[in-house]
Amino acid sequence: MAMLKIEDLNVYYGVIQALKGISFEVNEGEVIALIGANGAGKTTILHTITGLIGAKSGHVLFEGKDLTKTPAHKIVTMGMAHVPEGRRIFSELTVYENLKMGAYTRKDKGEIESTLNKIYNRFPRLRERKNQIAGTLSGGEQQMLAMGRALMSQPRIILMDEPSMGLSPLFVSEIFDIIREISESGTTVLLVEQNAKKALSIATRAYVLETGKIVLEGKASELLNDDSVKKAYLGE
């Protein structure tokens, strides 16, 4: 059974249909990339999965449970985390306080401390800056903090929206290395990303979106070599 299954999802913003019968699935342990131009509906998909937007019809099934009517705050407790576009960290709080906020669904203090240490080991820069106000971090460090905060809830699947947006090339490579590590350590990843080349280089499979529809799907390695994908998204 697929860990996450999207069935015939239709979503509207007023009279405009943003998603037109979208169906796809994410199996445990995969890195799935959703690629497509701006306005294709990638972010809308993530927002619908995590309960931030309601669907007009269709289903979002997570480990067999229908999330379509589940409130967003309950979805986090079920093992799903979302790293939103634009990072959305708590800029007035310290790095440490931001990370603690990520564990708000958990009760065991000892386990939370143990997860915190794992996050610091994965992101040494966050440990160095744990008492720094988050708003003063660089863009790349804020992205690491957003990812670290999401991992504090110990999710089984993590949804990432444009993690490389606005970052320097050096940080982009680092962020993708981290996504690969997150996947290798057993967390399933659903990735929305403008940088199609980077996304396809770490993904298992990918879906290409155009104006609210999936127009292409396949193994990421095959899509990397697909002429239409190269022309449209890889700048070749």
Strand 31-36, strand 188-192: pairing? parallel
Q: Which of 4, 6, 53, 45 is nearest to 192 (CA)?
A: 45
CA 135, CA 217: separation in Å to the nearest integer?
A: 38
Helices 139-151, 169-184: axis angle to 10 degrees equals 10
Average pLDDT over residues 51-68: 93
**Per-residue pLDDT tens over the stretch 178-236:** 999 999 999 999 999 988 999 999 999 999 999 999 999 999 999 998 888 888 887 65
Strand order, beta sheet including 65-66: 16-26, 4-13, 57-62, 65-66
- CATH architecture label of 1-79+157-236: 3-Layer(aba) Sandwich (3.40)
Give the confidence band of 109 by pLDDT, cuts at 50, 70, 90: confident
**Per-residue pLDDT tens over the stretch 60-82:** 999 999 998 888 888 888 999 99
- pTM beyond 0.95, yes or no: no
What are the respective helix, strand and coil percentages of the chain, to the nearest 5?
A: 40, 25, 35
Residues in the chain: 236
Which has the higher per-residue pLDDT, 39 or 219? 219
Domain ranges within the chain, ordered by starting residue: 1-79+157-236, 89-154
